[in-house]
Amino acid sequence: MSLAFDKNVYGKLLAEYQPQVINSEEDYDRMLADVEQLIGNKNRSPEQTALLQILVRLIEEYESQNHPMGESSPHLILQHLMDAREIKQSDLVGIIGSKGVVSEIFNGKRSISKAQAKALEIFFNVSPELFI
């Protein structure tokens, strides 16, 4: 059961955030702050999720040109999402496994299964591909 996408609400968000190609470190820092704010919203609307996806793509493009680095690992992505939402490992027990399993995943000693990636998708409202 998904919520209806409201174009008027989305239009207001676009006017408020004004996403555009990043041309400076100042623009980059501002957009990173916007993304962190949106990621931290546990009750993100479909319109906010659509805006988040645009901002992330703009950031990825800028980073690939100005801050190239290797691929991030699934456990580092998980750590980042947890930090952004101030979530502890114990908050994931029962969502992706026992305390030991969560600890092993968090520390990069165990990979994230497809079922766990699906559970993380639902919990964080992000693509499961981030974790595989």
Render pLDDT for 54-98 as a digit per residue (tens, 0 to 9).
999 999 898 888 876 666 788 888 888 888 888 899 999 989 989
For the entire predicted model, the pTM comes to: 0.53
What burial class does residue 15 get, using C-beta atoms within 10 Å of its C-beta: 0-12 exposed, 13-18 middle, 19+ buried? Answer: exposed
Per-residue pLDDT band at 14 (split at 50, 70, 90): very high
Q: What's the residue count for the chain?
A: 132
Query: Rounded to an integer, what distance in angstroms lies between the CA atom of residue 25 and that of residue 76?
Result: 23
* Beta strands per DSSP E along the chain: none
What is the phi/psi pair of residue 44, to 5°? -65, 135
For Cα atoms 3, 35, 120, give the angle at the middle one, nearest 5 degrees: 60
Query: Rounded to an integer, what distance in angstroms lies between the CA atom of residue 111 and that of residue 91?
Result: 18
- Checking if the pLDDT of 6 tops 90, the result is yes
